[in-house]
Amino acid sequence: MDLQNKLDIIDIEIAKGLKQRAADRLRNLQGHYPDELIIWYKLAELYYESGFLDAAGKYWILAEPTEERIKKCVEIYEKSVNYSGNQILKELVFRGDKSKLPVYAQHKIEALEINSKSKVGTVPTYTRKHFKTKSLPKGKYTLRQNITEKLIIAIVIFIIISILLGFANGVSIIWNFLFK
């Protein structure tokens, strides 16, 4: 399913009043498509309509402030984190490729990084998550893996027992042929 289909499903959920579910899906999509600012803006719009202006500002921070409401929300958000570039970067957790962003968003992230470096001495960095494989804790296996492992062990044991019985049966036949 492509991104647009997923966004259409989210729009349907919002229309049904399932805003928490829609917000969860949007945040999940951010991890899968970190460079797609449409997801960020849709999440900001959802929070704005729900009255969470600071949360809307958090997701609109990379948007060019073309409307007064965007400027207002971003200002509220920045004020809520004491204009700390480091805190904003930690909360944004941008794992995408900055070069794929619009120029305004690239400059905004650079400004936040400069602010963070000057005030804290460091810039938080994040690597892109890989969602294809699920890793289990060491020693933990899925049911399919457990069944497969036990089945392979059972087959190996069966083959070994069959070989031993065949060998014993062969020795018995030769013994009976020679000494009876």
Q: What DSSP line would sit under 62-102, residue for residue?
A: TS---SHHHHHHHHHHHHHTTT-HHHHHHHH---S-GGGS-
Q: Alpha-carbon distance 73 to 68, whole Å?
A: 9
Q: Alpha-carbon distance 112 to 143, whole Å?
A: 46
Read off the pLDDT band of 140 (50, 70, 90).
low
Element (H, E) at 31: helix 19-32
- The pTM assigned to this predicted structure is 0.65
Q: Radius of gyration (Cα) for the chain, nearest Å? A: 30
Confidence check: pLDDT of 52 > 80: yes
The end-to-end CA distance of the chain, in Å, is: 76
Q: Give the model confidence (pLDDT) of 67-99 as tens digits.
A: 999 999 999 999 999 989 889 988 888 878 888
- % of the chain surpassing 90 pLDDT: 48
